[in-house]
Structure 1
Amino acid sequence: MTDLLIDSGRIETDAHAQPDISALFAWLDGPPLLNATDELVPLLNHLQTLRDSQATAQQRTAALGRLYARSMSVLKSLLPSFTGVALHVPIPRKTRQLARSLQELLRALADDLYATLDDDAAQQSNELRPELGLALWRCLNGLGKHLAISNLAASPAGSGIWQQLHQAFATARRLGLASHVPEGTASTLQNVYFSAVLLGCAQPASFTAREIDFVITYLEHAIDLIDLTNDAASPATFWIDPSRDAAAMACSRKAAPAETQVFYFSCDRLAVQLRKQLALLENGGSPQLIDLPEFSGTTAGRGVMRRLIVNWGEPGKRRFPRRRQNYRAVLCSGLHNLWHLFQEGEAAAVDTSSWMITNESPDGYAVMHVSGKIGDISVGDVTAIKIGADGAWQVCIVRWALSENQEHLELGLQILATRAVPALLALPAEINTLSRVSVLVLPKIQALHSSEMLVVPSGALENQPLKLVLVVEMDNIEVREMKSTHLDEQNSQIEVFSIEPDSLPS
């Protein structure tokens, strides 16, 4: 991308009269530092220098363009810190500090880019429109990256970021630039905006960092399927109030306030494409043949696509109302730990931690960490929660996680069962040998699910199997022949199958 929008010789001449600006351009002309993290402080300092200077409009535009390009290069180098490893929540302190520094830089860039806009001049002169379109595109892209980092770090969005994003897009629409593809970019301003909006609609707190990275990559190739519309005609319709500091809201969850200037968009075509792609993958199709990332060919990737179909195409109302609470509970996380907990009882050598239940409903809880070792907990993991000293352990799945700082962690838990039976799943591994996988059998609960369920590690069963052999070792050894009837859950941590006794002959 060409970042200098005016004659570079003129900039150099003017810059000699301003030592600070001259130093800024000299730094930009130099090679980047070997460690991308070391670039963050100088970039922020040079942005502040530019704000405080008496630079001309041309100098400011040129400097901002080059600072933006340098910042995006740094961001590209540092993003694998969030997506290239299996991050658990709360994320490590050093990674969280990196996230905040990147977000501070992106917000400062967006503020300064938006400050260069002159709506009145743009409406009077077509010559300024390409320059303003590029500034708006960069502003939207920077704010979208800011929100993406919040999601990767399982942190709430920064105050005012959503409103700033909506305001920038509203300006693009007012200037007739929403469908504009600025020189040196590959997408319209509208697509950059809706890529950020759709990630927010995907319920990102319910995904791991790697899964969020997959969603971001997927949207790069599918965002053209979003349609602006005039009303809430389908279940896949969302509304946005540009004056609110909030993400888009599904019409099926909450209607737009009366007499409020909102606009609507539909994800119908996007959901249809996802369903077709998922069907092809489940029938043995290769991700490369349908232009999908390699991750979509894994069990976790297909699980993400199923949840996206629901979150974008079928967002529904909450099943049960919440009730605020304030009492303690004990939590144990991880399929391995739960297996030993239900096999050995309270004598099991597993780590537990203390939590505060902040609200509850008949099918789950919101909990906040109080004390104790959390372990490697992540979204999609299976947990057990016990309320009171004499309470029974309930099996739950972690639906979402939020962490504002290193000492703070909140989880959303959905109840799967009020008890569990530990078992070993016999799997043919090689000729004349069997491998066994530790699993949990969950009894049916009429209010939640009408059949028994089987919880297994993600990827343990390549395809939904017809016959399952379970070995239960309690007082006696019991062998159960079961068959799976439905895949209920599939994510990076576990898979959950509905099962029933196998009546077919062996």
Structure 2
Amino acid sequence: MQAPEQQSSSVSAVTAWLAAEPADDPAADLDALRAHVRELRGAVRSADEYLDCLTQLDWRARDIAERFRARLLNAPLPLGPELRQPVEGLVDALLDLAAGFQLGLEDVRGRWFGAPRAERGALTERALRLSGEAYLFACMIGAQPPTGFWLQVYALFGLAELFGGGAEGEGAAALAAASRILAVAALQPESLTGRELVWVHDYLENAEADGRVGRVRSAPESSLYWMDPARDEAPVAASRRGSGGAPGLFYFNSDALAQAVADRLEWLELRIAQAEVLGLERDVELLDSEHSGLPAGLTPVEVLSLLRRMHERWNAPPYRESPRQHQEYTVQVCAGLRAIWELFQRGEQHARIAEWMVYNESPGGYAIISVSGVSGVLSAGMVLALRPHAGKPWSLCIVRWIRSDDAEQVELGLQVIAQGGEAATVGFRGGDVKTMTPALVLPPLPGVRHGPAILVQTGSYTSRRFVLISDGGRLYVAQGRVTSLDMQTANIELLQYEIDPYPL
């Protein structure tokens, strides 16, 4: 312990900083926050005083996090060092605060029977909420959480469990915060954009249902995850790998979340259908948050796409059907719907083609890593064209996930959706007839898709009927009819179609 004068000085410095106006630059406030958290360790008289100071710092941390979140909403990956480094510092600061709460709670553990249980539960909930914020920011920059993150989270689970996690238990709010962290992990956050991650975070904050967290293995098995509190690993889907019956595990079941999302999905689909019948625009006014229970931040079409993926992953986590094989060879890559459209339409002379390296592959996809830096915008859910070298045909893929553990390197997980394709333009009935939308026409994919398909930007699909124009060699005009919406991400819609035999 430090001398009383030093203790008083550290606490007074925190109080004075919190009383002052926040700095205009959140990075400056972040540096000050981290310095105060470091100085407080060992510089206070008691665990109670330490926890009180951390609680005050928590409020300023929320303000700093909110300002950084606004900067990251539409930031493309990989982030430049001028933004990535402060966000990495923010992740560390939030986890330091969470660890401080955990340390203080464990220090007063011997006096728990004389302390208010509700207060202990609230402090544990704060620590888990801070951990959830740190996890959100790590996901938004495409990074894995820092080493030790899951061990810290599972230790906090144990503290929450001691207070009782039932609806009336003092640890209920803490276990609900724990459930939100696990719910995000179950969504495969590397497959979501920054805007989608923030929307999911806000949705879970106000969700009527939580996933079930505890020591008891619960049905259904299809949505069950297990966690070993002694291992620094993310939750594991039971459908992918069994726990082996090891003792002392935590379990998480996302079926209640999936059912709640299904209800919201049904409501939104009906709302959009009614708007189309009445000839209304599918704009944000459809999402009246007071009645929908859905947060703001995305358009109705974007929310519809995201809710479908949330339901799919919380209801039954996807699992790999084909084994991956380690590889190491370079490929040429053209990223983005517009860039690929121009490549197919105008040739390779002015195309934006970069060199990447395949490090594993399976019959249905690839994992690739940048080898010559990254130019342009990368985002989960975008389309990408790939080929071994010049002269070989292009494979069209969807970016299933994106990881960026530093500013110079990016990894992408790709799902093949077509072998080759051609550029076209389409116009959907009910849309603006004066503007045609760039599209890629894709051939059938054996074993996956029996008919041809078109790939368009998300939000383009407004009617089952559309006009297709292609001038690859000779002009071709036809009316098509959508037979199925096969895929919808934040960036693209993949529509299987047939030529309409009775054009109108």
Does TM, normalized by the shorter one, top 0.5?
yes
Moved more, 87-96 or 406-415: 87-96
CA contact (8 A) 1:141 1:192 kept: yes
Corresponding residue for residue 33 of structure 1: 23
Q: 1:170 aligns with which of 155, 158, 167?
A: 158
Moved more, 350-359 or 215-224: 215-224
Q: Please say if 1:328 is aligned against 2:330.
A: yes
CA contact (8 A) 1:420 1:440 kept: yes
Per the TM alignment, residue 430 of structure 1 is displaced from its structure 2 partner at its CA by: 8.5
Corresponding residue for residue 443 of structure 1: 443
Corresponding residue for residue 480 of structure 2: 482
Query: Which residue type is aligned with residue 336 of structure 1?
Result: R
Per the alignment, do residues 266 and 383 of structure 1 end up closer, same or farther by CA in structure 2, a change over 3 Å counting? same
CA contact (8 A) 2:227 2:236 kept: yes
Per the alignment, do residues 115 and 481 of structure 1 end up closer, same or farther by CA in structure 2, a change over 3 Å counting? same
Q: 2:235 aligns with which of 239, 248, 256?
A: 248
DSSP 3-state at the match of 1:67: helix
DSSP 3-state at the match of 1:284: helix
DSSP 3-state at the match of 1:400: strand
Q: 1:80 aligns with which of 61, 70, 86?
A: 70
CA contact (8 A) 1:440 1:454 kept: yes
DSSP 3-state at the match of 2:33: helix
Corresponding residue for residue 467 of structure 1: 465
Query: Which residue type is aligned with residue 453 of structure 2?
Result: M
Per the TM alignment, residue 224 of structure 1 is displaced from its structure 2 partner at its CA by: 2.8
Query: Which residue type is aligned with residue 322 of structure 2?
Result: F
CA contact (8 A) 1:281 1:297 kept: no
DSSP 3-state at the match of 2:159: helix
Per the TM alignment, residue 388 of structure 1 is displaced from its structure 2 partner at its CA by: 2.7
In 2: Cα distance, 1:283 partner to 1:336 partner: 32
Per the TM alignment, residue 406 of structure 1 is displaced from its structure 2 partner at its CA by: 0.8
CA deviation digits over 1:352-374, x for unaligned, max 9?
11101010001100000011553
DSSP 3-state at the match of 1:257: coil
DSSP 3-state at the match of 1:360: strand
Query: Which residue type is aligned with residue 142 of structure 2?
Result: A
CA contact (8 A) 1:178 1:189 kept: no
Per the TM alignment, residue 27 of structure 1 is displaced from its structure 2 partner at its CA by: 3.0
CA contact (8 A) 2:91 2:134 kept: yes
Write the mapping of 1:377-456 to structure 2, written as runs, cut at 5 A: 377-427=378-428, 434-456=434-456
Per the TM alignment, residue 206 of structure 1 is displaced from its structure 2 partner at its CA by: 0.4
> Percentage identity across aligned positions?
28
CA contact (8 A) 1:122 1:132 kept: no
RMSD: 2.5
Moved more, 110-119 or 40-49: 110-119
Moved more, 275-284 or 114-123: 114-123
Moved more, 89-98 or 205-214: 89-98
Corresponding residue for residue 8 of structure 1: none
Per the TM alignment, residue 26 of structure 1 is displaced from its structure 2 partner at its CA by: 3.2
Per the TM alignment, residue 160 of structure 1 is displaced from its structure 2 partner at its CA by: 0.7
Query: Which residue type is aligned with residue 410 of structure 2?
Result: L
Q: Please say if 1:151 is aligned against 2:139.
A: yes
Per the TM alignment, residue 123 of structure 1 is displaced from its structure 2 partner at its CA by: 7.1
Moved more, 385-394 or 422-431: 422-431
In 1: Cα distance, 2:488 partner to 2:341 partner: 19
Q: 2:32 aligns with which of 37, 42, 54?
A: 42
Write the mapping of 1:339-358 to structure 2, written as runs, cut at 5 A: 339-347=341-349, 349-358=350-359
Q: 1:109 aligns with which of 97, 116, 119?
A: 97
CA contact (8 A) 2:47 2:108 kept: no
Q: Please say if 1:199 is aligned against 2:184.
A: yes
Per the alignment, do residues 67 and 409 of structure 1 end up closer, same or farther by CA in structure 2, a change over 3 Å counting? same
Query: Which residue type is aligned with residue 469 of structure 1?
Result: V
Corresponding residue for residue 376 of structure 1: 377
In 2: Cα distance, 1:466 partner to 1:111 partner: 54
Q: Please say if 1:220 is aligned against 2:208.
A: no
CA deviation digits over 1:319-346, x for unaligned, max 9?
2110010000010011111112122333
Query: Which residue type is aligned with residue 484 of structure 1?
Result: V
Per the alignment, do residues 170 and 16 of structure 1 end up closer, same or farther by CA in structure 2, a change over 3 Å counting? closer
Q: 1:63 aligns with which of 53, 64, 85?
A: 53
In 2: Cα distance, 1:78 partner to 1:316 partner: 32
CA deviation digits over 1:283-307, x for unaligned, max 9?
2253323221244652222111111
CA contact (8 A) 2:395 2:416 kept: yes
Q: 1:234 aligns with which of 216, 221, 235?
A: 221
Corresponding residue for residue 283 of structure 2: none
CA contact (8 A) 2:6 2:43 kept: no
Corresponding residue for residue 87 of structure 2: 99
Could you tell me which runs of 5 or more consecutive residues in structure 2 were left unpaired when the two chains were aligned.
273-285
In 2: Cα distance, 1:242 partner to 1:67 partner: 28
Query: Which residue type is aligned with residue 459 of structure 1?
Result: G
Query: Which residue type is aligned with residue 313 of structure 1?
Result: N
Corresponding residue for residue 293 of structure 2: 291
Could you tell me which runs of 5 or more consecutive residues in structure 1 were left unpaired when the two chains were aligned.
1-13
DSSP 3-state at the match of 2:348: helix
CA contact (8 A) 1:323 1:359 kept: yes
